């Protein structure tokens, strides 16, 4: 609204002058009303129609854009905004209402710039999908630890030791010559080496347990709750959305376990599961959005065991989703389809 002034005409009638300034977004009617006061009644003026010429435009490419990077990597595509006339205009660009910047889990979707100015020629904007987190270079199953020699596990060395023992016995008893005695002695020595390698992987765990026992020697009252650790594994770290997978939390403790495990995805609780035989599981029924998921789990503890929280496990669900990108100027809007996701 603008200033209001008052004057009188030649007959002494009061004249009220009011000025209004508006920037209409659409063609529309504009009316003026006087609400009345103690001396004058309500009155209104005939409306005037304001015809607004909104410049039109198109969004391209006509078949839409696709932004589907490999999980953990960024991707982008270009949108072209082409004016339908030489009339200058500004077009605002954004993902359509109902879709936020996190439509792909663990990623941020953005359109830049958010506005383009048209002055007779086309302009471009870029839709980008940027990972919000870093994922491991190789998402693989967590496997049993191997003895760091030739990639053999402890069971492999024990089997080899048994085979060598049998060979030594055969060499010793089939023909009792000096050469066969040497063969038997050599095979026996290798057998002892294999046994040592097979047993060596377990020493670290026993040493760690000794430290926990020392803490309990204080008083003679009730036993304090013992420490726990919780680790996460997944049956398949990268699956197509809709494919079953299982995330297992394993709690390690020196006492019998009860209580529950709560699973979190980026810090938001997704499921709570009772502990059974030292484990609890979740999966696709609770974690089902396309993108990168960072899962942690917390064990509740119980009378005999302390609370513990796992480190992060990365779970990837591949797939795509189609969302509309809106371009608008005034009341004029157009849309282009963007296919976004991860592979």
pLDDT at 270: 96
Same fold, 57-135+329-342 and 225-319: yes
pLDDT at 246: 98
Which residues, 6+ apart, have CB-to-CB distance to 189 below 8 Å? Answer: none
pLDDT at 178: 62
**8-34 pLDDT tens trace:** 888 888 887 888 887 776 778 888 888
Distance between CA 244 and CA 163 in Å, rounded? Answer: 41
pLDDT at 171: 56
Distance between CA 147 and CA 162 in Å, rounded? Answer: 18
Ordered by start, the domain boundaries in the chain are: 4-50, 57-135+329-342, 154-200, 225-319
Low-confidence ranges of the chain (pLDDT < 70): 1-2, 25, 98, 138-189, 191-222
Distance between CA 245 and CA 99 in Å, rounded? Answer: 27
Distance between CA 237 and CA 314 in Å, rounded? Answer: 7
pLDDT at 166: 61
pLDDT at 299: 98
Domain 57-135+329-342 grouped into CATH 2.40.50: no
Q: What is the CATH number of domain 225-319?
A: 2.60.40.10
- 3-state DSSP call for residue 167? helix
pLDDT at 40: 81
**83-101 pLDDT tens trace:** 999 999 999 999 877 677 7
pLDDT at 70: 96
Is pTM, for the whole model, over 0.75? no
């Amino acid at each position: 609204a603008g200033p209001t002034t008052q004057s009188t005409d030649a007959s002494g009638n009061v004249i009220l002058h009011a000025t209004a300034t508006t920037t209409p977004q659409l063609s529309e009617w504009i009316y003026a009303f006087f609400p009345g006061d103690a001396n004058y009644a309500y009155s209104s003026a005939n409306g005037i129609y304001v015809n607004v010429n909104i410049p039109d435009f198109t969004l391209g490419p006509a078949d839409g854009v696709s932004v589907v990077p490999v999980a953990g990597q960024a991707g982008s595509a270009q949108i072209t905004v082409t004016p339908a006339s030489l009339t200058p205009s500004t077009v605002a660009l954004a993902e359509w209402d109902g879709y936020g910047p996190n439509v792909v889990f663990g990623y941020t979707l953005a359109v830049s710039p958010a506005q383009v100015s048209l002055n007779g020629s086309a302009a471009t904007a870029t839709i980008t999908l940027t990972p919000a987190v870093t994922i491991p270079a190789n998402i693989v199953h967590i496997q049993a630890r191997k003895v760091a020699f030739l990639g053999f596990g402890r069971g492999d060395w024990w089997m080899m030791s048994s085979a060598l023992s049998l060979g030594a016995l055969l060499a010793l008893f089939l023909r009792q010559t000096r050469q066969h005695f040497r063969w038997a002695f050599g095979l026996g020595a290798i057998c002892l080496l294999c046994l040592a390698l097979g047993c060596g992987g377990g020493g670290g765990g026993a040493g760690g347990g000794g430290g926990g026992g020392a803490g309990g020697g204080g008083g003679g009252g009730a036993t304090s709750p013992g420490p726990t650790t919780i680790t996460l594994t997944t049956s398949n770290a990268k699956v197509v959305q809709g494919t079953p997978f299982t995330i297992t939390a394993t709690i390690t403790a020196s006492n019998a376990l009860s209580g529950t495990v709560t699973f979190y995805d980026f810090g938001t609780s997704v499921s709570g599961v009772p502990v059974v035989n030292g484990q609890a599981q979740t999966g696709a029924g609770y974690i089902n959005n396309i993108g990168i998921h960072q899962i942690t789990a917390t064990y509740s503890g119980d009378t005999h065991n302390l609370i513990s929280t796992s480190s992060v496990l990365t779970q990837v669900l591949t797939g795509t989703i189609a969302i509309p990108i809106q371009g608008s100027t005034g009341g004029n809007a157009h849309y282009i389809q963007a296919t976004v996701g991860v592979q």
